[in-house]
Amino acid sequence: MAQIEPGTVTIWTDLASAIPVYTRRTPEGVLWASSSRLLAGFDEKPSVNLDKVAARLVSPDTAEAGTDSFFHGIERVPPGHRLRMTVRREPDTRVMWRPTPMADGHALRLRSALEDAVTVRVDHSAQPSTDFSGGFDSTALGLLAAERLAPEGRAIVGVTVHPEGVHHGGDLDYAREAAHHPRLDHRWMPVTDDHTPYGKLDLVPATDEPAPSTVSYAYFSGQLAWLTEEVGSDMHMTGDGGDALLLTPPYYLVELLKRGRIRRALGEAARWAHVRRMSILDAFRTANSRAEPDPVPSWVNAKQPVVGGEDPFTLESPTLRALMRTMTQAGRTAHADVQIAEAFGIALHNPYFDSQVIDAYLSVPVDGLPGPARYKPIMAEAMRDLFPERLVRRTTKGDASSDHHHGLRKALPALLDFMDGYLAGEGLVDVAGLRGSMRRVAMGVGDELAQVESAVATEAWLRAVRSAPAIPWETSGVRAA
């Protein structure tokens, strides 16, 4: 939100940076925009910040450290802050949010926030649509939208993606059972070999930073085209951000111990140990290790990781710090997917990144958060009247990692050449070592899939940015007071 007055501009950033705000200093003053790439091309060709690129290859936490962006000279305003820019004064930035713990009413508060988030979107859409995967997050959006639109005789299109020829099993059964609402128009989108991960990387467009969908661009662009051609959607919602917000980080087990909640810690650790098939002691050890950054891949020629990154909210709880760090990183990077969708004429929305949704969920006191083995119990309670009973009892979610291993195997010959590109030319990766890791991951060996995907996405983004035409600027003839 921005308030513009004579001589002063005041901006409030959202809690997840889902609508990020960037600034750039010029001799005439400070410029601000919701696109870092736009600002970077104000009076010159955008210059990529290779230090930020290197940090991304190291770890997400390292990339989140500091307030710089992926372009030189462009700073990002921290989430949940107020930025005030006044003529002939230094910009003033200060934090404006902290969670407010409430004793009860958490499910009702979450339900109300989600209803408002859905309402503001479908009320301004001629043909709304949403993911409808069968999981908690997208199913909630679809059913809440159907409830909102029912009195008007309108409907929302709920899209369930499925492998071509497969209509039963796993998430598909949950989606079919949940699509009972008369104002939910349930559609099935088939996924074929044309949508395999790592396809069409040469078509990835330039964005502010590497988009989460990059390695899945063949699927993501295919979905957007399908929504345009088959549905006529002008606004599409996803459940992105739901996992980051509603699943408690494993380190919570360690924090419970440090808070003296011994019995609760042991109980939650036992549940998590059962799910992970390990001892309770190993559960605590694993939870504690999750607070540390992953080892830097041997093929990354970059600095060592930053532990924890920045905490713009100065939260006391390590669990809340980890949760909000994940939310802000996911929310801001998701904006790159929003930029991609704009080219297809679709407004992409992720309601779980909305500030009021985050604030509502984090009204749960730290001691009252669900353990890491509990599958979104507050959401289950919030949606109990609309979810089918079998969905309410769900305790796990689907896993698409096998699709990514398959896609990597299929695209491996071309990818091995693809990765001898800008990253290698800038000395940020050792190509021989990276190729070895890619071959191992393609065979399902080791645990470097996330690091390989990050490198591939970063290379694709660099190629897109450096080949994209400059963004044209024009003078409006109007000067600020």
Q: Measured between alpha carbons, how far apart are the two ends of the chain, in Å?
A: 20
Closest to 189 in 3D by CA, of 225, 215, 154, 216: 225
Helical packing angle, 401-418 and 431-442, nearest 10°? 150
pLDDT digits (tens, 9 = 90+) for 41-71: 997 888 999 999 999 998 877 787 778 999 9
Residues of the chain where predicted confidence (pLDDT) is lower than 50: 480-481
pLDDT at position 373 is 95
Strands 347-349 and 235-237: parallel
**pTM score > 0.75 for this model?**
yes
DSSP, collapsed to helix, strand or coil, labels residue 29 as strand
Contact 312, 80 (CB under 8 A): yes
| Residue 481, pLDDT score | 43
Architecture of the domain spanning 106-245+317-392: 3-Layer(aba) Sandwich (3.40)
Q: Are 416 and 437 in contact (CB under 8 A)?
A: no
- pLDDT for residue 220: 97
**3 vs 236: CA distance, rounded Å:** 28
pLDDT per position as a tens digit, 384-414: 999 999 999 887 766 666 789 889 999 999 9
Confidence (pLDDT) at 47: 94
CB atoms within 10 A of CB 1: 10
Q: What is the pLDDT of residue 398?
A: 65
Do residues 81 and 96 make contact, with C-beta atoms less than 8 angstroms apart?
A: yes
Q: List, in sequence order, every residue forming a beta bridge with 83; answer none if it has no partner.
A: 11, 93
β-bridge mates for residue 163, sequence order: 191
Neighbours of 212 (CB within 10 A): 17
- For 391, the 3-state DSSP assignment is helix
Beta-bridge mates of residue 24: 31
pLDDT value for 395: 78
Q: What ranges in 123-170 are assigned the alpha helix state H?
A: 136-149
User: Residue 57's beta-bridge partner residues?
Assistant: none
DSSP 3-state of 379: helix
Gyration radius of the chain's alpha carbons: 23
Domain 2-95 has CATH 3.60.20.10: yes
Q: Are 382 and 363 within 8 A, CB to CB?
A: no
CA distances from 459 to 404, 412, 418, 455 (A): 17, 15, 8, 6
Nearest to 249 by CA among 361, 373, 334, 393: 373
Residue 426 in tokens: 């800038």
Joined tokens for residue 32: 């601000």
- What is the distance between the alpha carbons of residues 262 and 253, in angstroms, rounded to a whole number? 10
